């Protein structure tokens, strides 16, 4: 019997507030019709006001979770998020080498409230080990700057950084533009060896953007897991996240979560 498509193994940190991390990933994959499995890298203590603690899990536990999924359920795509340290990056890179499933790599470095989620010394490990293994890399502007050393302050900067990351081995790069100053417009740029795709929309005036990057990467992974071309998967994920931001419920006193479940309530 052929296994159904749409299986996504998520390797990332847990967010107790439910807005980002594994919790956001599972919601996004589920809402887009996939099956989400997880290997948690760290337990974070956080809410909409910020990250109040990070507790990494032992490397052998991270590996055991992933192997339990891969050896039984299997996966059609892997999505990585918060890794935290050089050692976890090395562990996850080794896991990626054991499966032919494409990897969507979200190079998480800093939480929405400013708390670092990746050690400074681990940036080089992400550059050397994760970028070349990425079927799709999804950096925001500061992450792209850290990985390439290039300034990303406008669309041309996004383009240059995206091309540099392709040259480092990524198969496709989604350069997110939320951190790029652009007035009333946000532009995300998908760069592939075959060309580029612009995803442009109005900047939504809201503080409910916690977990946007996690959600977008996981939504992309869901589409890729279903066998969709990267351009289609990214476009559908982008539309899903834009609506989730628009419908954000306004929870908490800080950076609130998106409305991941909006598809079940209809437009």
Say which of 212, 220, 223, 256 is annotated catalytic. 212
Q: Which of 6, 81, 176, 223 is catalytic?
A: 176
Cβ(262)–Cβ(244) under 8 Å? yes
**In contact, 159 and 150? CB cutoff 8 Å:** no
Which strands form 136-137's sheet, in the order they lie side by side? 50-56, 35-47, 7-15, 77-80, 103-105, 136-137, 173-175, 185-192, 195-202
d(CA 167, CA 152): 17
Report the Cα–Cα distance between both ends of the chain, in Å, rounded: 36
Q: In angstroms, rounded to a whole number, what is the distance separating the alpha carbons of residues 98 and 261?
A: 33
Catalytic residue among 214, 215, 223, 256: 214
With 0-12 CB in 10 A as exposed, 13-18 as middle and 19+ as buried, what is 60? exposed
Of the residues 6, 18, 34, 211, which is catalytic? 211
Residue 84: active-site member: no
224 token code pair:
């890729």
| Active-site annotation holder among 157, 213, 223, 256 | 213
The runs of H, that is alpha helices, within the chain are 21-31, 59-72, 86-96, 123-125, 141-148, 155-167, 212-225, 230-246, 262-265
**Annotated active-site residue in 209, 220, 223, 256:** 209
220 is catalytic: no
Half-sphere exposure of 196 (CA within 13 A, CB side): 19
Active site residues: 176, 209, 211-214
């Amino acid at each position: 019997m052929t296994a159904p498509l749409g299986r996504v193994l998520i390797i990332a940190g847990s967010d107790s507030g439910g807005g980002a991390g594994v919790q956001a990933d599972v919601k996004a994959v589920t809402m887009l019709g996939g099956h989400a499995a997880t290997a948690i890298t760290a337990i974070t203590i956080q809410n909409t006001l910020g990250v109040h603690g990070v507790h990494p899990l032992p490397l052998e536990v991270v590996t055991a979770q992933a192997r339990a999924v891969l050896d039984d359920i299997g996966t059609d795509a892997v999505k990585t998020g918060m890794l935290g340290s050089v050692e976890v990056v090395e562990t996850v890179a080794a896991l990626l080498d054991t499966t032919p499933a494409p990897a969507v790599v979200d190079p998480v470095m800093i939480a929405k409230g400013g708390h670092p989620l990746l050690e400074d010394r681990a940036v080089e490990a992400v550059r050397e080990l994760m970028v070349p293994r990425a079927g799709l890399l999804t950096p925001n502007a500061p992450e792209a700057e850290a990985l390439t050393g290039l300034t990303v302050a406008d669309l041309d900067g996004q383009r240059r950084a995206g091309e540099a990351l392709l040259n480092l081995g990524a198969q496709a790069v989604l350069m997110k533009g939320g951190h790029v100053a652009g007035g009333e417009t946000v532009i995300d740029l998908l760069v592939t060896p075959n060309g580029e795709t612009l995803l442009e929309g109005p900047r939504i005036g809201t503080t409910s953007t916690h977990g946007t990057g996690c959600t977008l990467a996981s939504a992309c992974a869901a589409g890729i897991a279903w066998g969709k071309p990267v351009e289609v998967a990214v476009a559908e994920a982008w539309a899903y996240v834009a609506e989730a931001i628009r419908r954000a419920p306004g929870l908490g006193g800080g950076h609130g979560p998106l409305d991941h479940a909006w598809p079940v309530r209809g437009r």
